[in-house]
């Protein structure tokens, strides 16, 4: 009979060939709801796109096989329905129908990913930060842009002012102040540090590394010191690297410092970058020997599909006047970066919450890279965590790249309580992506 009802399962529609999985952002139907062909059943997000999952037939929802915020391969069913559309009786192979009898969707895909070693507890200890004394408001920068005003800049970027380094100040000078504060706040002395990692895209010189220059300023000898460059994601990359070194026994107390001096790399004519960036430094000590703020989980990734979204062709923290044919300035593809960052932030937050065994309501603060106020507000809407739980200081400091998370963390540290649950998330040039969950 043509009107005979039967049960079957539906799959998310396949996307680009490189796409392997997607996340249900929001279900628009529930158990027992009837729907018609073409009706939107759910909002879905994959690594490269956001799309609507439309019903391919008329029917009624029997059960949802995937919770909101969970990721799934495209070959797994996401919903069981009851329908009279006979074409769907033939479309789903019997092997897939049997999957409904024992659904595998109870465990999120992220939980199956390779994790870090749990053999040793690794913690963050003290936090230290530094901002240059000079405060530069939007009004000062608008001298070269008389056709726009301060409120316009704030509306587009979320920034009212930023700190810029004084003449003669170097990245290693800023890193030193933040590092000393972090070591002191850890209850350690410089001699207790046995590895130094500096994250920076604006080193003092190409070589030696800024980490070695910082080592000299701290008066330390005979220990590993090196730079990493993951752009805005660098500090979280550095902490993850330090955690692995502690687990491997390479170091016990590892100083991780993010420092950026970008004020001298901004093209006054380029409105897409000129108003965004500030200078600063932030640091912490990663320890396996002393109780602190527990590092729970981390996510690191990079996608060269976005390699042109954020870039600078010449090295260093100053413009080389005889730089030849190189474009010396920081350049951004604002629209593409906005979309990529929004998707990455929200996906990372959801995955870290799941991997950590938390619920969105458990999160005390999301401390994001202070990229752009509009990006962060859009990411909050998709993350499952209320925007009120996102800590923003971008209005006062601008985008300080890899230093932005530790600078923000230093501001809220005094108000944090033991067992508070914190999420870091950041996106940088590369495109690099990094996230981390911390239990205070």
pLDDT tens digits along 202-236: 999 999 999 999 999 999 999 999 999 999 999 99
Residue 353 has pLDDT above 80, yes or no: yes
What angle, 0 to 180 degrees and rounded to 10, lies between the N-to-C axes of helices 404-412 and 234-248?
80
Of 71, 153, 436, nearest in space to 284 by CA: 436
Q: Is 53 exposed, middle or buried (0-12, 13-18, 19+ CB in 10 A)?
A: buried
What is the Cα–Cα distance from 266 to 10, expressed in whole angstroms?
50
Sequence-distant (≥ 6) Cβ neighbours of residue 159 within 8 angstroms: 138, 153, 275, 276, 373, 394, 395, 398, 399
What is the Cα–Cα distance from 158 to 404, expressed in whole angstroms?
15
> Which one-letter DSSP state was computed for residue 440?
-
| Position 92 confidence tier, pLDDT thresholds 50, 70, 90 | very low
Of the candidate ranges 16-20, 56-60, 398-402, the one whose mean pLDDT is the lowest: 16-20
Q: Which of 229, 369, 372, 425 is catalytic?
A: 369
What is the Cα–Cα distance from 263 to 330, expressed in whole angstroms?
10
Examine the residue annotation and report whether 212 is marked as an active-site residue of this protein: no
What average pLDDT does the segment 30-43 reach? Answer: 92
Instruction: List pLDDT tens digits, range 314-327.
Output: 788 887 766 567 78
CB 336 within 8 A of CB 431: no
Sequence-distant (≥ 6) Cβ neighbours of residue 55 within 8 angstroms: 10, 35, 36, 37, 38, 39, 40, 41
Q: Sketch out the chain's domains with CATH numbers.
A: 6-89 (2.40.50.100), 123-439 (3.40.47.10)
What's the pLDDT score for residue 87?
63
Instruction: List pLDDT tens digits, range 373-384.
Output: 778 888 888 888
Q: Which helix (H) or strand (E) holds 239?
A: helix 234-248
Sequence-distant (≥ 6) Cβ neighbours of residue 118 within 8 angstroms: none
Q: Which two tokens stand for residue 163?
A: 């700190």
Q: Could you please report the per-residue DSSP string of 40-57? A: EEEEEEESS-EEEEE-SS
What average pLDDT does the segment 57-67 reach? Answer: 91
Residue 103 has pLDDT above 50, yes or no: no
Residue with tokens 């004084």: 166
What's the pLDDT score for residue 324?
64
Q: Which of 232, 293, 297, 372 is catalytic?
A: 232
Sequence-distant (≥ 6) Cβ neighbours of residue 237 within 8 angstroms: 199, 228, 230, 300, 432, 434
What's the pLDDT score for residue 117?
40
CA distances from 221 to 146, 184, 218 (A): 52, 19, 9
Examine the residue annotation and report whether 293 is marked as an active-site residue of this protein: no
Of the candidate ranges 133-137, 172-176, 376-380, the one whose mean pLDDT is the lowest: 376-380
């Amino acid at each position: 009979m043509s009107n005979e009802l039967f049960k079957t399962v539906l799959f998310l529609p396949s996307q680009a060939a490189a796409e392997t999985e997607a996340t249900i952002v929001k279900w628009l139907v529930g158990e027992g709801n009837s729907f018609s062909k073409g009706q939107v059943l759910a909002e879905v997000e994959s690594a490269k796109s956001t799309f609507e999952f439309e019903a391919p037939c008329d029917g009624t929802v029997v059960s949802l096989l995937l919770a909101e915020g969970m990721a799934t391969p495209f070959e797994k069913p996401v919903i069981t329905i009851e329908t009279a559309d006979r074409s769907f009786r033939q479309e789903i192979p019997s092997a897939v129908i049997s999957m409904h009898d024992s659904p595998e969707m109870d465990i999120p895909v992220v939980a199956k990913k390779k994790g870090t070693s749990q053999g040793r507890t690794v913690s963050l200890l003290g936090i230290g930060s530094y901002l240059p004394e000079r405060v530069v408001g939007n009004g000062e920068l608008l001298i070269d842009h008389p056709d726009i005003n301060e409120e316009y800049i704030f509306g587009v970027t979320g920034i009212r002012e930023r700190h810029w380094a004084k003449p003669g100040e170097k990245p290693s000078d800023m890193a030193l102040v933040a590092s000393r504060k972090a070591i002191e706040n850890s209850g350690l002395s410089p001699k207790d540090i046995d590895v130094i990692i500096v994250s920076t895209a604006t080193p003092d010189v190409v070589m030696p590394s800024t980490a070695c220059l910082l080592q000299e300023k701290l008066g330390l000898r005979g220990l590993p010191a090196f730079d990493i460059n993951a752009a805005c994601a660098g500090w979280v990359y550095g902490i993850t690297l330090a955690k692995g070194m502690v687990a491997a026994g390479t170091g016990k107390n590892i100083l991780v410092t993010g420092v950026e001096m970008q004020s001298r790399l901004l093209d006054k004519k380029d409105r897409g970058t000129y108003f965004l960036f500030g200078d600063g430094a932030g640091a912490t000590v990663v320890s396996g020997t002393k109780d602190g703020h527990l590092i729970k989980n981390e996510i690191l990734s990079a996608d060269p599909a976005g390699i042109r979204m954020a870039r600078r062709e010449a090295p260093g923290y100053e413009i080389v006047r005889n730089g030849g044919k190189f474009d010396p300035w920081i350049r951004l593809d604002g629209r593409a970066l906005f979309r990529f960052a929004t998707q990455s932030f929200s996906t990372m937050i959801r995955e870290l919450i799941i991997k950590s065994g938390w619920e969105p309501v458990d999160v005390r603060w999301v401390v994001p890279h202070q990229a752009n106020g509009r990006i962060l507000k859009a990411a909050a809407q998709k993350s499952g965590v209320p925007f009120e739980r996102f800590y923003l200081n971008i209005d006062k400091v601008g985008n300080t790249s890899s230093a932005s998370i530790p600078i923000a963390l230093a501001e809220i540290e005094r108000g944090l309580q033991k067992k508070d649950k914190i999420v870091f998330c950041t996106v940088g040039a590369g495109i690099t992506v990094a996230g981390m969950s911390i239990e205070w």
